[in-house]
Amino acid sequence: MEKITGTKADRPQLDRLKEEVREGGTLYIESLSRLGRSTKDLLAIIDHFQSAGVAVVSAKENIDTSTPTGKLITTVMCALAEFERDLTVERTTEGLKAARARGRSGGRPKTDAKTMGVALSLYDSKEHSVTEICMRCGISQGTLYKAINERKAEVEAFATSATFARP
């Protein structure tokens, strides 16, 4: 399983898979769109496996690339997947531009220092669970843990850089 998007060229698990496949084998994938997003790249990946004597079978599209019909359908599906991705990127870009034109900015809202101070104090008291702290302060667990880790890193950086004078 790869946790990296199919749009990335550097995919360690895919590279490992390419090395481990054996002639006569079959590679089962969930979907063509998970293997690659660009038609060119997807066809190159499939061609690599076919050159190694490995058939590629997609469960979602029910395609077997070891047959002439499967090869044709794969090419069409690759083009459609790339088209769909391009449309999504285009719509997202247009939506962001429209939102900015209306004065909106993206991203999560910033947590003010006072709220974060309260959350960290509650955390340090060890009297409340993380869930309780987050609900009370209106922040996510990720935000709380990020602040805890940042504070810890600051303390460690200070401790390693501080010079203590000896009498």
Q: How far apart are CA 118 and CA 113, in angstroms?
A: 9
Side chain identity, residue 37:
R
Query: What is the Cα–Cα distance from 89 to 142, expressed in whole angstroms?
Result: 27
Paired residues of 58 in beta bridges: 29, 63
Q: How, if at all, do strands 26-29 and 63-64 pair?
A: unpaired
Q: Which DSSP symbol is given to 164? A: P
HEC string of 63-84 equals EECCCHHHHHHHHHHHHHHHHH
The yes-or-no verdict on residue 111 having pLDDT over 80 is yes
Amino acid identity, residue 105?
S
Summarised one tens digit per residue, pLDDT across range 124-165 is: 999 999 999 999 999 999 999 999 999 998 888 877 776 554
Which of 3, 76, 70, 65 minimizes the C-alpha distance to 28? Answer: 65
Percentage of residues in the chain having pLDDT higher than 90: 32
Q: Which class does domain 12-101 fall in?
A: alpha beta
Do the beta carbons of residue 70 and residue 64 sit within 8 Å?
Answer: yes
% helix / strand / coil in the chain, to the nearest 5?
60, 5, 35
- Give 5-34 pLDDT, tens digit per residue: 545 567 788 888 888 888 998 888 888 877
